[in-house]
Structure 1
Amino acid sequence: MMHQPPAWALERSERVTPDGFLESFREAWERTERRFLKLECWQSYREAEGVRSQEAFEAGDIERARRLLEEEAMGDQPLRDEVKARGLEFTRVRLLDLPLTGYLRYEMINYEVRDRLGERMEFIAPPSPVEGYFDFLLFDSHTALIHDYGPGPVGHQTGGWLTHHPATLHALSDTIADLRTRGEPVPALETYAATFRT
């Protein structure tokens, strides 16, 4: 099973539906004062139905996919403005297992667009197999949301888990610190250039 959260990560957690995940995100976001970290591990995801940029990319229309991704990214400008106004650290830590999957070639266009708009991303080749990691969101040291993307091989969110358990929050923070210390950073420009390599 790929990218499944281990038992320690779910200890004292609350199972949430996709709607509950979004509501828990909003509540945790309002309480966040210092940092928001997102760990992204899956090498392939299925976006929600009707995501036109992914449909365009899969149809081979790369320029249309880019235009649509730029439109989607501009819709998040209020969030970027809020992050700046509140002085938050907002970082997406993306694990990579090269060569890139088709999904990640699509997503690299998105990352490149968002990087130009000021979003912060770190690309890391992990020190151990990427399948052993799992996706989560960490809000300061008070809340984490752990994604449930099913058993794989393509992640499609079915809800997740909400936790405030201090030991879990500490371990999740340590996971990112360990990746930053022992993983191999992948330069952004090299990563974006890899988008269209076969």
Structure 2
Amino acid sequence: MRDLHAPPLDRTQGVRTDRAAYSADFWQRYGRIYQRDSWKLERREHFVELNNPSWDAFRRGDWDQALRLLENKREGLRKAAEQDRKQRTVFHRVRVVGLPLTPYLQWELHSLRLKAEYDEVIRIVDAARLATVESEGPLPELVVLGGLTLYEVVYTDAGVLDGGVRYTRPDLVQGWEAAIRTLFENGEDIADFFAREVAPLPPPQPTTE
């Protein structure tokens, strides 16, 4: 993807926060957004989900229960979508995906497909298209809130959320928003990707990671 220009990140220019402080800061700032959109970039292919019953069921190997528990999230997603409409904001997500899918990604794509039914706009980018961009390492996990705040989301090696780094320098925020927009514009709608690559798959076998 030759037209992608990703600004370098220097964590010394941001504010490092632990998991609790990152979450509190994120939701406080998200609640203040009005008439501005947000953008998220997801790159890792395995995470450890905390306090997520569906993920716990997936990890136990109970795929049917994992899917049933995802369905239980519909009311919460509906309320969140209603609040976003009041704030006149749209949350865009770019999910980088390698094939064949990891077990985690197979589970997560079911979750994301459900979110897309409730106004989150999600597109999938084939990891193979990022070979040039990622010649020195994978893209970071990022969120740009309302064009004003950039978070680099930090995880442990195992994939457990470990807080974030907040950046507010305008050129850095705008540069990464433009980069995520470029990925988004080159991505595929999740509904089409899901129907072709995810729906036909048998239940995944959870790993021991």
Displacement of 1:105 in angstroms is: 0.7
Gaps of 5+ in 1: none
Displacement of 1:184 in angstroms is: 4.8
User: Could you tell me which amino acid in structure 2 is paired with residue 36 of structure 1?
Assistant: S
Gaps of 5+ in 2: 1-5, 205-209
Displacement of 1:65 in angstroms is: 0.9
Aligned residues: 190
- Contact kept, 8 Å, 1:123 with 1:188, in 2: the verdict is no
Tell me, yes or no, if structure 1 residue 74 matches structure 2 residue 75. Answer: yes
Q: Does the residue aligned with 1:76 lie in a helix, a strand or coil? A: helix
Report the TM-score, using the length of structure 1 for normalisation. Answer: 0.83
Taking a change above 3 Å as real, the CA distance of residues 171 and 44 of structure 1, as seen in their structure-2 partners, is same
Displacement of 1:188 in angstroms is: 2.6
Tell me, yes or no, if structure 1 residue 169 matches structure 2 residue 170. Answer: no
What is the root-mean-square deviation in Å for CA atoms of aligned residues? 2.4
Displacement of 1:114 in angstroms is: 2.2
Q: 2:190, 2:117 → 1: CA distance? A: 15
- Map of 1:106 onto structure 2: 107
Write the deviation string for residues 67-117 of structure 1: whole angstroms up to 9, x where unpaired.
101113432332111111222121121111111100011111112222233
- Map of 1:10 onto structure 2: 11
User: Could you tell me which amino acid in structure 2 is paired with residue 142 of structure 1?
Assistant: L
Write the deviation string for residues 20-64 of structure 1: whole angstroms up to 9, x where unpaired.
10121123213322101111111110101x422112223332221
- Map of 2:161 onto structure 1: 157
Once the two structures are aligned, what percentage of the paired residues are identical?
22
Write the deviation string for residues 92-150 of structure 1: whole angstroms up to 9, x where unpaired.
21111111100011111112222233332111124324652111111122111210113
Report the TM-score, using the length of structure 2 for normalisation. Answer: 0.79
- Contact kept, 8 Å, 1:109 with 1:192, in 2: the verdict is no
Taking a change above 3 Å as real, the CA distance of residues 76 and 156 of structure 1, as seen in their structure-2 partners, is same
Q: 1:16, 1:188 → 2: CA distance? A: 35
User: Could you tell me which amino acid in structure 1 is paired with residue 45 of structure 2?
Assistant: Q
